[in-house]
Amino acid sequence: MKRVFLIVLDSVGVGALPDAEKYGDLGADTLGHILAQAPVSLPNMAALGLGKIPGISCSIPRGAAGAAGRAMEASAGKDTTTGHWEIMGLALSMPFPTYPDGFPPVVIEAFTKAIGREILCNAPASGTVILDELGEEHMKTGFPIVYTSADSVFQIACHEETVPVETLYQWCVIARELLQGEHAVGRVIARPFAGLPGAFQRTPRRRDFSLEPMGKTLLDEITGCGLDLLAVGKIEDIFCQRGITLSDHAAGNPACIDATVAFLRRDFTGLLFTNLVDFDMLCGHRNDAEGFSAALEAFDARLPEITACMTDEDLLIITADHGCDPTFPGTDHTREYVPILTWHRQMRGLTPIGTRTSFADIAATVSDALGLHCRFGARSFYGLLVP
């Protein structure tokens, strides 16, 4: 193949992993519960074999062609960084640290000293609820709202008229430099917001400041071989821009799909890597099953635009990085299998690719498809996709 298009439907899990109970996620099933509670027609994903994934109730249309399966997460954790790194071949043996009681004094004291002001909150919180609770006080004091979740994140929320966005980004860089070693959280996240008390809204200028990948990933291998690596959405943040030759930091699913289609219309050789974050950020974390369903329907409706850009030398892979079941107690990520849907123009009928034991099988498959030799200790399923 000349090009591979890899699209991550952020948080679209397909059922609890065998070890989900350890994470408090027994019974989680993001896509299954959405299809049951907020039914939606997904004809284009169904035509790629969506209904062949265990636990997914979805009719298979006549003429369906593609290959479908699911993957287990080999790494410890259920966060964005861990999931994306493993998709690109880098599995973690230890989870990133989390802070169910807030960050310890040594972290907060160092941060407040570095930025020259106090902070508000320092506790796990819903990103939208905390704005209602502390947004007005933040505007009066200028103190940033620092909070976390069940995931390994240090989040800083600031009103754009109180703290300029560039200052917020600088504070995130400071936090990222402090949060190393024992307290090396997966991501520091800038959460700018706007509006008046009672009607605060997050703005599209969110930025993620991830740890540098601790080993070689498929991104490094691709660009090291002189191929192209195009990234859409927060991919560049998750990988600290490493291995990426061209990026469009579009915000929101519609803009990210637009950017994906624009890149597909270019001539390049290598990988196009897209993250669609709205499923997670706007729906899963807000327990909005109806909104999640609508976002899935909107993505499915635009799939034909993507496949129409494909040539005989292109391969499409659709997957996810974790779950975020909007029907499940709490507002955090859920430890789940992720779907794998693949398609290219020569495919006829539906091919099962089974349950893969690591997300890294995707990295091995992309490498195989592009004629590279790195496998990351995983198993390529590319041989199932071609005659």
State the pLDDT at residue 150. Answer: 81
> What is the token pair recorded at 214?
């601790």
Could you tell me the mean pLDDT of each successive run of 10 residues in the chain, 387 residues long? 98 98 96 95 96 92 95 95 97 91 97 98 92 96 95 95 98 97 95 96 92 94 97 95 95 97 97 97 94 98 97 98 95 95 96 97 98 97 93
* Chain length of the chain: 387
Domain with CATH 3.30.70.1250 in the chain: 105-210
Give CA–CA dist 34/68, Å, rounded.
19
CA distances from 56 to 52, 59, 70, 123, 144 (A): 7, 9, 11, 36, 42
CB-based contacts of 165, cutoff 8 Å, min separation 6: 158, 190, 192, 205
Q: What is the pTM of this model?
A: 0.91
State the pLDDT at residue 120. Answer: 98
Q: What order do you get walking across the sheet with 66-71 strand by strand?
A: 246-248, 228-232, 270-276, 3-9, 314-319, 338-343, 66-71, 350-356
CB-based contacts of 82, cutoff 8 Å, min separation 6: 73, 75, 76, 92, 95, 96, 186, 322
CB atoms within 10 A of CB 198: 8
- What are the backbone angles phi and psi of residue 152, rounded to the nearest 5°? -85, 80
Q: Is 210 helix (H, G, I), strand (E, B) or coil?
A: strand
Q: Which amino acid appears at position 299 of this protein?
A: F
Give CA–CA dist 80/78, Å, rounded.
7
DSSP single-letter state for residue 245: S
Question: In CATH, which superfamily holds the domain spanning 3-94+212-384?
Answer: Alkaline Phosphatase, subunit A (3.40.720.10)
Tell which CATH architecture fits domain 105-210.
2-Layer Sandwich (3.30)
Separation of first and last alpha carbons in the chain: 13
Strands (E) located in the chain: 3-9, 66-71, 120-124, 145-148, 153-159, 187-194, 201-202, 207-210, 228-232, 246-248, 270-276, 314-319, 338-343, 350-356
> What is the token pair recorded at 112?
């407040």
Q: Which residues pair with 124 in a beta bridge?
A: 148
Domain with CATH 3.40.720.10 in the chain: 3-94+212-384
State the pLDDT at residue 23. Answer: 93
Q: 31 and 356 in contact (C-beta within 8 Å)? A: no
Host H or E run for residue 369: helix 360-369
